[in-house]
Structure 1
């Protein structure tokens, strides 16, 4: 079997087509996460009222575990920001409360099927997945390079393709220069 640019390009593209689609889809969603974050959705919501201390420095893990005892949740962390308290619980529950009034809302969340899971792949910090993603990145380079070398003649890379490639590279470069 003779290995050519065309066969290498085709086989790598076939092998990675699922991951290309998943990363493309989840990347678009992540670009718009401030407008719509479909990693999870709220399936239950209940109003709560906490008795919070006046000084936010007194809000500790132990204090919050005691305050949320009757809510049937397990403490996993918290943060205080802009007069708001957010408490994270295991099993994907979150409580947001106003620091002054103690009034808030406890939300129980579930991962959105398929979309939420593909976003997890995009954001994963698992060391195996990072290595696999790095290999995928190299494969994408191979797919791109072999893809530009397949056409020949007047529409080939050496005649016309390099001009389009330079124009295509200008967009990310301009973005970096203007907005970073």
Structure 2
């Protein structure tokens, strides 16, 4: 493939996927920090509660869903877990967190953040057609990376002269993180 065809392929794939690249990049950054803050939703109400919590082995999805109803939550149940001494119940528009020892807790009601929650949903979507579109996108990103690396003609900024060192560093750093973190 000649230089001009490589440049054209790189440019056209970049143009075609610019919206998805930006969306995935932004939502990926936000997902990296989801333990610090929840950009996907914002709190509209917070209510303190006190409940009698059973033993951990008695807690299951049915119990969590029923407790939600008793607490006045009329919402779709998603999941529950007990971790680090906290009983957490997740509903579509509410979260409940209760201390297992004291029974003190909080109900947090939230609303999805427009646009941001939709972008983040792209990362989590598992419908069949989206998986295939995502696969095509992944292959296109590989193509964009390779064509970007080889489209610079020989010289001091080419892949052969300098680019391979940066590419190697870009591969080694994530591998080190995987091995040591």
Q: TM class by shorter-chain length?
A: 0.7 to 0.9
1:128-143 equivalence runs, <5 A: 128-143=129-144
CA contact (8 A) 2:96 2:107 kept: yes
Secondary structure in 1 matching 2:171: helix
1:66-105 equivalence runs, <5 A: 68-69=69-70, 71-74=72-75, 76=77, 77-89=79-91, 91-105=92-106
CA distance, structure 1, for counterparts of residue 68 and residue 32 of structure 2: 37
Secondary structure in 1 matching 2:37: coil
The answer to which of 59-68 and 75-84 deviates more is 59-68
Alignment TM-score, normalising by the size of structure 1? 0.82
Size of the aligned set, in residue pairs, is 176
Q: Flag structure 1 segments of 5+ consecutive residues without an equivalent.
A: none
CA contact (8 A) 1:75 1:87 kept: no
Alignment TM-score, normalising by the size of structure 2? 0.82
1:27-176 equivalence runs, <5 A: 27-53=28-54, 55-64=55-64, 65=66, 68-69=69-70, 71-74=72-75, 76=77, 77-89=79-91, 91-154=92-155, 155-176=157-178
Secondary structure in 2 matching 1:122: helix
- Change in Cα spacing, 1:144 to 1:72, as seen in structure 2 (3 Å) is closer
CA distance, structure 1, for counterparts of residue 144 and residue 19 of structure 2: 14
Q: CA RMSD of the aligned region, Å?
A: 2.5
